[in-house]
Amino acid sequence: MKALGIAFSARRIGNCLNCIEYVLTKLKEQGFAIEVINAYNLEIKPCSHCNYECFAKELRDKKEECPIRDDVPKIYAKMKEADIIVLAVPTYGGKAASLYCAFTERGQGIFESYEEFKNTILDKIIASIVIGNIPAGGDLAYHTVILDHKDCKYPLQSVLLQADEYGKGSIYGNLMEDERVRDRLDNLVKSILKDWKRKR
């Protein structure tokens, strides 16, 4: 049993990483091997400067490799190995963080088809933690992440954390200090474990 957490924040330590580590610690207490991936430490490039190699089969009747060289394939490889995946996504500029968006769009260059993506990633138990105030676009980021996982075999377990709700500012990275935030993440863990029992 393995649980993987991925923090898509542009900074090394903040709300995303703290929330991921909290949730994974709770899963570890339930017997899961855990691993945390911090996007801050990796190179994640968006789709760019290519010739639609991911559509080469349709366009040129042959298979071609994505020309972008970065850490995205390694992250997807880790996701394939996991039973449970927890994503933490901050809101930047009224949208889901660009590191997350770049990562998701690159999936079409990793998998040969959407069916392969569904069968290798979306058949897992996936949860998301989106951090952002609704007036600053947190709701848009939240729904972006939900729509990205609309075809999950198990319904995406998700939570939107608004720093304003807890009298805090998102940029200070101190959401985990509030017991109410920890309670919400505890409930997220319970939902994840409920799906895990159902899957088994």
At residue 190, the pLDDT reads 98
User: Which has the minimum average pLDDT: 67-71, 86-90, 107-111, 146-150?
Assistant: 107-111
Where residue 163 falls (left for φ over 0; alpha for ψ -120 to 50; beta otherwise) is alpha
| Count of CB atoms situated within 10 Å of the CB of 53 | 18
42: confidence class by pLDDT, cuts 50, 70, 90: very high
170: confidence class by pLDDT, cuts 50, 70, 90: confident
- Answer whether 117's CB lies under 8 Å from 111's CB: yes
Report the chain's mean pLDDT, rounded to a whole number: 95
Domain locations along the chain: 2-199
The CATH architecture that domain 2-199 belongs to is 3-Layer(aba) Sandwich (3.40)
Residue entry with tokens 């999936």: 107
| Count of CB atoms situated within 10 Å of the CB of 11 | 15
Whole-model pTM?
Answer: 0.94
Residue entry with tokens 């400067």: 49
pLDDT per residue as tens digits for the range 110-158: 888 889 999 999 999 999 999 999 999 999 999 999 999 999 999 999 9
User: Which has the minimum average pLDDT: 79-83, 119-123, 196-200?
Assistant: 196-200
- Answer whether 124's CB lies under 8 Å from 84's CB: yes
